[in-house]
């Protein structure tokens, strides 16, 4: 997902997306531990996406407090 797509979303959509990505990350870790999946790179991608979402959420929160 591109950063511009993330910036276009509302605060509620970002929070929902963050919860979904965290759940996905949890299940990926679980699958790796059980050796059901060997795609370790997906964990990195999920973590980076969560970080991007949280960064945009914090930026939007900063915009609200400045106004």
DSSP 11-66: HHHHHHHHHHHHHHHHHHHHHHHTTS---THHHHHHHHHHHHHHHHHHHHHHHHHH
Distance CA 50, CA 44 (A): 10
Instruction: Say what the pLDDT of residue 49 is.
Output: 97
pLDDT in tens, 14-58: 999 999 999 999 999 999 999 888 889 999 999 999 999 999 999
pLDDT(61) > 90: no
DSSP category for residue 6: H
The count of C-alpha atoms lying within 13 angstroms of the C-alpha of 62, restricted to the half-sphere facing its C-beta, is: 6
The pTM for the full model equals 0.86
Sequence spans of domains, the chain: 3-60
């Amino acid at each position: 997902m591109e950063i511009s797509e993330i910036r276009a979303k509302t605060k509620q959509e970002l929070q929902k997306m963050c919860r979904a990505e965290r759940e996905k990350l949890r299940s990926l870790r679980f699958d790796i531990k059980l050796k059901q999946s060997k795609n370790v790179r997906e964990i990195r991608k999920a973590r980076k996406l969560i970080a991007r979402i949280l960064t945009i959420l914090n930026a939007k929160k900063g915009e609200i407090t400045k106004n």
